[in-house]
Amino acid sequence: MDKLLQYGRELLELELHEAQKLPARLGKDFVKACQLILSTKGKVVVSGIGKSGHIGKKIAASLASTGSPAFFMHPSEALHGDLGMVTENDVVILISYSGRAKEFQFILPILAGMNIPVIAITGGLDSPLALAAQAVLDISIEKEACPMGLAPTSSSTNTLLMGDALAIAVMRARGFKEEDFARSHPAGSLGAKLLNHVKDIMRKGDLIPSVPQSATVLDAMLELSRTGVGLVAICKDGNKIVGVFTDGDLRRLLLKHGTLQDKIIDVMTSPGYQIPETWKAVEALKSFNDHNITAAPVVNNHGELVGALNIHDLHQAGIG
């Protein structure tokens, strides 16, 4: 057990030691790499083989999700047709620790012929890849954390960190915001919070609890039971809200010896709290919390009843 802990700690210490050298290496080439990505009219094409390829896929995904359209291209597949996906408007990131990957020897002349700028992420600063690139990001290490010095460990970590630095620097330069991030992550919790509006998740049609102003408390109670929203809207002329009546209002009425035959217009809360359909769902949640309520009718720009929303609807949509 002690040996296992020792092995793990030694690896982490070695990788952290190598990674700590990276910030000082960022300079003109890093700025140039960012500018190439920011100015491209096409996509960022990332390529690497072996462990570099695995890291490259992550870098491409990070770029794509933070505002820089990108995709990963396997070097071997590139030599058998996939180079056709690269256009003269693109910028290419090639990853090779040695800078001497055989596949790149064939790819680099083609990219040069198309005047496509190349960003190299490499530890071989005098390699063919580095010499052919317009910007070179130095990920060189003194020692791999693997005790045999064979398995890419420190070098893979440096590659990953350099890719993250590139993606996030470009993201910040673009002024990329939470709403932009949510659009590329619509199924995530952030997407649910920032993209969903009240009108997207509210109850509609027959699921809207409402009774006319001529109704009795019994009518309202039956509507409360039918819909399970927690409130009923009292309306005139079909969809103009004049008040609301909640489960809590019903309990308090009965405790005060009110009857189910009472007119709803005499015991309702008028005009009652309402929320606009144009609000973001997260705004509705905040409003519920601020007013200590769990449900509200939803109105359009003309103040007409168009839906109903309760706290459970918000939670089911991944909000809150």
Burial 15-51 (b: 16+ CB within 10 A, else e): beebbeebeeebeebbebbbbbbeebeebbbbbbbeb
**3-class secondary structure, 32:** helix
Burial 193-205 (b: 16+ CB within 10 A, else e): bbbbbbbebbbee
- Beta carbons of 45 and 86 less than 8 angstroms apart: yes
**3-class secondary structure, 95:** strand
CA distance linking residue 175 with residue 191, whole number of Å? 18
Q: Is 74 among the annotated ligand-binding positions?
A: yes
- The number of CA neighbours under 13 Å toward the Cβ of 29 is 20
Residues placed in the known binding site for Zn(2+):
74
Annotated binding residues: 74
